[in-house]
């Protein structure tokens, strides 16, 4: 569903970081990776950049429709080439259809209503705002709808097994590249069953890690397709150095840089309604904990696939579906903790029985803890390295909401770095609060206090209690193994 994100990032990163000449427009997938002298923020020269079409007159409605229809006709050819490159069978041709932006929005709303019913959404909003994952109150279904519709050029739907084009870029090469990304999802589905690979029973951290595999594979395959289309799959090995530098550039982009590119690239889409255009232009305003893992699944996920390919070709990427990663720690450090090395599996953290009614219970993992600390002013990434496992629950006890967070780290030193980082974050999170003595509790702006306690490799946090009794319950009752 989110293919436009991958395409914008990949193409913009390619054009912004290489010094080689750009390829000429071919009317189909390009014969080389896009390069040029444009800047990473999308401000490069349009005349020298095949991805920028703002200097061209806008397409008429008839021209837009024909461009999309022509793209649909090319899908069958792209399927065959992509399957050959990827080394996976595609026994069933993937139907391709045009879809209006109105119908796409209805599809998104229907999926959200199914996956996030009103009561669950309300509980999550309260819980995640309370423990600081959200920086302000929000309407979660509306925010997620904006997130999805801001990436609405095209998508593959595993339920119907169809590929839909919602908005056609004016550039044929870009449109075919979008198709390559989404048809990779079709290949994944036919060979590995995406529904089984991404079950709803996964905790948040494990689910994000698997999304790195799915979207990273599609992004890596998309770039490989674009780089080798005219030369055949055997050319990929010769192109890996160039591709590798581009993928590394993508992975190092910040959310702010990406949001600026999305705003710039919105002008290259035809058939966009005003609501969707606004969604793309304001994507940088989305909560970091929502947009950050999504962007990383494409950009840093492509690094995971690249490292797997370097270790053993496409078969090593396939192996990630048969033995998926179990944490974002693994996919954020693929060479050291996932591929070609002994995997560092997360510890299982089990919380004690807690008072009140549970609003949510989940795992944050290294990636979400990193985002949490960064959004509250802690810039040092080492505060989340050495993550070993965690579990949190948010409970409602009468009119009081209390968060219980238990974490474990590789060493006592790692635990101290995290505890210090968390304490530092409270100074910004609770304006004017003295966070220097966490054992005494840091007062919230509403009810209760926040307590932090390190016990060896473990760090325990209680957010919203009156005294240390809740902290003692958490520290003594939590099991780590």
Q: What is the DSSP string of 84-144?
A: HHHT----SPPPEEE--HHHHHHHHHHHHHHHS-HHHHHHHHHHHHHTTSSSS---HHHHH
Residue 307 has a pLDDT of 95
Residue 287 has a pLDDT of 86
Distance CA(476)–CA(406), nearest Å, equals 11
Q: Residue 1: which pLDDT band, with cuts at 50, 70 and 90?
A: very low
Distance CA(125)–CA(345), nearest Å, equals 30
Distance CA(290)–CA(287), nearest Å, equals 5
What's the whole-number mean pLDDT along residues 442-447? 79
- How many other C-beta atoms are found inside a 10 Å radius of the C-beta of residue 196? 9
Q: Residue 31: which pLDDT band, with cuts at 50, 70 and 90?
A: very low
Residue 245 has a pLDDT of 84
How many Å separate Cα 432 from the centre of its chain? 33
Residues in the chain: 481
Residue 121 clears pLDDT 70, i.e. is over it: yes
Q: Which tokens hold the place of 63?
A: 């021209």
Residue 441 has a pLDDT of 80
Residue 198 has a pLDDT of 96
Instruction: Tell me the pTM.
Output: 0.86
Q: Which tokens hold the place of 472?
A: 């003692």
Give the H or E element holding residue 450: strand 449-455
What's the whole-number mean pLDDT along residues 192-218? 97
Residue 370 has a pLDDT of 95
Q: Residue 147: which pLDDT band, with cuts at 50, 70 and 90?
A: confident
Distance CA(52)–CA(170), nearest Å, equals 9
**For 345-399, what is each residue's pLDDT tens digit?**
999 999 999 999 999 999 999 999 999 999 999 986 678 999 999 999 999 999 9
Distance CA(182)–CA(195), nearest Å, equals 16
What's the whole-number mean pLDDT along residues 461-467? 94
**In whole angstroms, how far apart are CA 461 and each of 63, 285, 453, 454, 458?**
58, 28, 7, 9, 10
**For 298-346, what is each residue's pLDDT tens digit?**
999 999 999 999 999 999 999 999 999 999 999 999 999 999 778 999 9
Q: Which tokens hold the place of 437?
A: 């003595």
Give the H or E element holding residue 405: strand 400-409
If phi over 0 gives left and psi between -120 and 50 gives alpha, with beta otherwise, what is residue 338? alpha
Contact status, residue 424 vs residue 377, Cβ threshold 8 Å: yes
How many Å separate Cα 47 from the centre of its chain? 32
Contact status, residue 40 vs residue 257, Cβ threshold 8 Å: yes
Contact status, residue 448 vs residue 437, Cβ threshold 8 Å: no
Domain-wise residue ranges, the chain: 3-337, 349-480
Contact status, residue 55 vs residue 47, Cβ threshold 8 Å: yes
Angle at 231 between CA 225 and CA 234, to 5 degrees: 80
> Is residue 370 helix, strand or coil?
helix
């Amino acid at each position: 569903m989110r293919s436009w994100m991958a395409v914008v990032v990949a193409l913009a990163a390619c054009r912004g970081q290489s010094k080689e000449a750009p390829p000429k427009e071919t009317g189909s997938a390009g014969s080389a990776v896009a390069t040029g002298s444009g800047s990473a923020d999308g401000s490069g020269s349009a005349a020298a950049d095949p991805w920028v079409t703002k200097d061209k007159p806008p397409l008429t409605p008839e021209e837009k429709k024909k461009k999309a229809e022509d793209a649909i006709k090319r899908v069958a050819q792209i399927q065959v080439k992509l399957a050959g490159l990827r080394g996976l069978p595609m026994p069933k041709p993937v139907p391709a259809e045009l879809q209006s932006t109105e119908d796409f929005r209805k599809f998104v709303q229907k999926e959200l209503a199914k996956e996030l019913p009103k009561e669950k959404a309300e509980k999550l909003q309260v819980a995640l705002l309370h423990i600081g994952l959200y920086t302000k109150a929000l309407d979660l279904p509306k925010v997620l709808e904006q997130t999805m519709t801001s990436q609405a050029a095209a998508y593959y739907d595993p339920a119907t097994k169809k590929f839909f084009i919602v908005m056609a870029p004016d550039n044929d090469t870009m449109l075919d590249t979008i198709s390559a990304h989404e048809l990779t999802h079709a290949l994944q589905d036919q060979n590995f069953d995406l529904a089984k690979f991404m079950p709803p029973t996964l905790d948040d951290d494990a689910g994000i890690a698997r999304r790195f595999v799915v979207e990273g594979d599609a992004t890596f395959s998309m770039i490989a397709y674009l780089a080798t289309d005219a030369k055949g799959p055997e050319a990929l090995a010769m192109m890996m150095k160039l591709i590798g530098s581009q993928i590394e550039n993508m992975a190092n982009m910040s959310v702010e840089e990406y949001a600026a590119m999305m705003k710039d690239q919105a002008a290259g889409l035809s058939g966009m309604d005003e609501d969707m255009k606004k969604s793309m232009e304001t994507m940088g305003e989305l909560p970091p904990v929502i947009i950050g893992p999504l962007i990383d699944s494409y950009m840093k996920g492509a690094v995971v696939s690249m490292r797997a390919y370097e270790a053993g070709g496409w078969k090593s990427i396939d192996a990630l579906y048969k033995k998926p990663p179990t944490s974002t720690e693994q996919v954020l450090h693929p060479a050291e903790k996932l591929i070609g090395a002994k995997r560092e599996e997360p510890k299982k953290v089990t919380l004690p029985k807690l008072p009140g009614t549970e609003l949510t219970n989940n795992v944050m993992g290294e990636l979400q803890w990193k985002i949490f600390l960064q959004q509250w002013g802690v810039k040092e990434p080492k505060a989340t390295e050495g993550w070993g496992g965690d579990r949190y629950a948010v409970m409602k006890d009468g009119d009081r909401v209390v968060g219980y967070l238990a974490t474990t780290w590789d060493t006592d030193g790692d635990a101290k770095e995290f505890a210090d980082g968390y304490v530092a974050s409270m100074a910004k999170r609770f304006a004017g609060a003295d966070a220097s003595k966490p054992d005494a509790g840091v007062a919230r702006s509403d009810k209760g206090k926040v307590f932090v306690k390190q016990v060896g490799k473990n760090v325990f946090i209680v957010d919203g209690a009156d005294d240390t009794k809740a902290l003692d319950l958490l520290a003594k009752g939590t099991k780590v193994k």
